[in-house]
């Protein structure tokens, strides 16, 4: 009986690896969560980039010794 088991293991390990397991499709919920996170990341990245551009422009204006570099403020009464 031992020779039978040895033969069985030797043929399965020496043969080409067949993948019997099938890939499970991605669920709709997981796909929706992934897309929502991707959109959120892109929106936050866009807002962060715009803030960095604004800070850079204000810094450039200040270093050039220009007046009125900040945002325009409405007069208070």
Q: Residue 11 falls within a domain, yes or no?
A: no
Terminal-residue alpha carbon distance, the chain: 100
Number of domains in the chain: 1
Q: Residue 9 falls within a domain, yes or no?
A: no
| Letter string b/e over residues 33-65, b meaning 16 or more CB atoms within 10 A of that residue's CB | eeeeeeeeeeeeeeeeeeeeeeeeeeeeeeeee
Q: Residue 56 falls within a domain, yes or no?
A: yes
Query: Per the confidence metrics, is the pTM higher than 0.85?
Result: no
Q: Residue 6 falls within a domain, yes or no?
A: no
Write out the residue range of the structural domain in which residue 59 sits. Answer: 40-65
Chain segment 9-61, per-residue pLDDT in tens: 555 555 566 665 678 888 999 999 999 999 999 999 999 999 999 999 988 88
Assess contact for 35 and 26: CB atoms under 8 A: no
Q: Residue 27 falls within a domain, yes or no?
A: no
Q: Residue 19 falls within a domain, yes or no?
A: no
Longest dimension (CA), the chain: 100
């Amino acid at each position: 009986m031992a020779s039978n088991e040895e033969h069985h293991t030797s043929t399965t390990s020496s043969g080409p690896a067949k993948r019997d397991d099938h890939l499970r499709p991605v669920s709709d919920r997981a796909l929706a969560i992934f897309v929502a996170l991707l959109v959120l990341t892109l929106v936050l990245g866009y807002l962060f980039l715009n803030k960095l551009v604004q800070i850079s422009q204000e810094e450039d204006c200040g270093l050039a010794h220009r007046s009125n570099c900040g945002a325009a403020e409405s007069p208070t009464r």
